Amino acid sequence: MKFTLSKNFPAKPGKLWLIIDEKRNLPEWVGRTGWGIRLASRLAGEKSLGQYGMMDSFSLTSEQGEEVSGLLTGAGAAEEFTVERLRRLTGEIVRQANKRGYEKIWLIGGGIEKTLTDEQVVEAVVTGATLGGYTFDYYRTGNTEPATLGQIGLFLPGSRSAAPLSRLAGKAQTVADAVNYCRDLVNHPANHMNAAAMRSEAEKLGQHPEITVSILDEDCLHEMGAGGILAVGRASVNRPLMIVIEYRGKPRSAKVLALAGKAVTFDSGGLCIKTTDGMLNMKNDMAGGAAVLATVRALAANSVPVNVRAAIPVVENMIDGTAYRPGDVLKMMSGKTVQIVSTDAEGRLILADALHFLSRSGPAAMIDVATLTGACAVALGDGCAALIGNDDDLCKQLTECGREVGENFWQLPMFDDYRELLKGEIADLKNSGGRHAGTILGGMFLSEFVNGIPWVHIDIASTDDVGKTAGYQIRGATGMAVRTLYRFAVQFCR
């Protein structure tokens, strides 16, 4: 998708996209045109068109013979119009434009400039269009309808200079492209996106001059004593490994942000096997690892001056005669022992090793991302991810970054009384404390392996996937947390 920014309205704009608020007022300059006068007359008789989310097409010919057509979108009350609403409307508009065969469309905001800055409009339109136009057709053999919309023009009459806004548009598109990359990784089925494929994706990332990628194979993991990763992955023909990524965006600084991402490329539940329905979408269980890969990709592509060290443990939780069992005791990389209650509580085992590994280098902060607990969906539904951590300020910063980009987070408590539920009967810990407070207990288990480093766990189990297309979200993987992590990293480097 190409984005054009201009202070001057083009002589031959082609198709138009007009955003109108509930008062249905058009920009003053539009009202002076022949087609604008006729459009205003139509709007006066259709009060519903200004309501948020309402959409319609128009085609007009003025008395002077001007032919103008395009799409109308309702913004609702001008004072309630937000950046996130514009992102969502843009996603819808892109799909509508493609259905109608539009090749180019120009945005005209009727009053939104009073609520949003030019910078906010640019970011929202670029992000919404890039995400809302996403498709996943890798495995379809029939003819698919190609997207026709190749360009969106933004008419910004009040902007002083287009150059800074063009740079902002480029950075926003890079981040949105990274989200789509994450969506691709998660949407691929497990017979394609296995440990070898994840390794290949990481090695491609390592071609960037500021990125170094190391692959810790099974032998390395044995030497390091990574008992959690090795136990979960040992029953699969796709052997376990851990991807380690170093991005040196600010080489003269010693300050490092550490990221960990759970990558269970398929989760059968192990010997505590899942039901058929419960297993169906378990290709998504590597969404945390995909989010970390995509975040580093965006940071490097935009040359963000920040240092990041990432660890992504990659396993497949399967069943054979070597599978780990309920009742087993594992010795983790940290030296702590863990009694296995459920082989379906595997994500915390591999992340525990990854977090301990990262903590040894003394990062300034650690964040892990994982589809960790089904309890998260029960607690928060599919519109919000859970946060739990040992640093309230860090949780607040992540929540605010999420709010800015349109991703919702809610911090859960980490009371000491919960720790009693994780004490093992014959080992230091057990990997499950029962059904109650499942998301909190999953996070508190991980807290045992961070060694005092400021840390936050993000549970995206309820938000990694959507069941229907709406706004800029497309049915399937969402790429959840990529934009928040990117925004946080940008602030972290300051």
Q: Could you confirm whether 360 is annotated as catalytic?
A: no
Q: Nearest 10 degrees: CA dihedral of 85, 404, 398, 361?
A: 120
Tokens representing 49 are 């068109």
What is the phi-psi region of residue 76: left when phi exceeds 0, alpha when psi lies from -120 to 50, beta otherwise?
A: left
Which residue among the candidates 7, 95, 250, 274 is catalytic per the annotation?
274
State yes or no: is 114 an active-site residue.
Answer: no
Q: Which of 283, 348, 430, 483 is catalytic?
A: 348
Any idea what the Cα angle at residue 296 is, between residues 169 and 444, rounded to 5°? 120
Q: Which residue numbers are catalytic?
A: 274, 348
